[in-house]
Amino acid sequence: MFTQEPVAQRIISRRVFFLSAASIAGGLYYLMSGRQEPVEAGTPVPAGPPKMVSIVNFSDSGKKLGVVEVEKVVKTDAEWKKQLGPTAFEITRHADTESPFTGKYWNLHDKGIYRCICCDTALFSSDTKFESGTGWPSFWEPLAKENVTNSSDSSFGMDRVANACTRCDAHLGHLFDDGPKPTGLRYCMNSGALRFVKLATAD
């Protein structure tokens, strides 16, 4: 004899069916869109031929040593966290920004060069540092254009130019066109992305 399925049970069955269908559809869309699960912090970097980049080497006295081709520095988040402090990690690897007038270099006037905190690439010189009044260390040009990479940044509803270290892709800060002569540019950097090396007396 045929017995009709209770109404409550039919409703639950329909819900299970629709939820299952939605999950399958979502999974198919995820696969079709080419998205992948994020790599966990401890996952090893995939093996393969290293990517090479050209940068300009400088001594700690700021002397130009010439263009060199070096391997691009690629590490997992776990490796960067082990190397960097929390502030430097969030700035360089997640494009965070330190609060103005809080970084250790915004008001520094010593002579020397500023290197990348992540890979030690020479980035800026005290010779091009100026008081911008913004609370961040500011420079009117990098030591070498090859060492700093520019990219478009449309986060927070603004169109800006982001700066990164060419060798390791560390986020450094942003570039603006309100700087002093001779370039008229302002490289507005985060202290947490930099390591200052005081002027050496000899190479």
**Which positions are catalytic?**
188
Structure tokens at 114: 């500023």
Alpha helices, H only, 33-153: 77-83, 86-94
57 near 66, Cβ under 8 Å? yes
Distance, in Å, from the CA atom of 166 to the CA atom of 128, rounded to the nearest integer, reads: 19
Distance, in Å, from the CA atom of 132 to the CA atom of 50, rounded to the nearest integer, reads: 39
Residues 159-189 as b/e (b if ≥16 CB within 10 A, e otherwise) read: ebebbbbbbbbbbbbbbbeebeeeeebbbbb
Alpha helices, H only, the chain: 7-32, 77-83, 86-94
Task: Tell the burial category of 139 from Cβ atoms under 10 Å away from its Cβ (0-12, 13-18, 19+).
Answer: buried
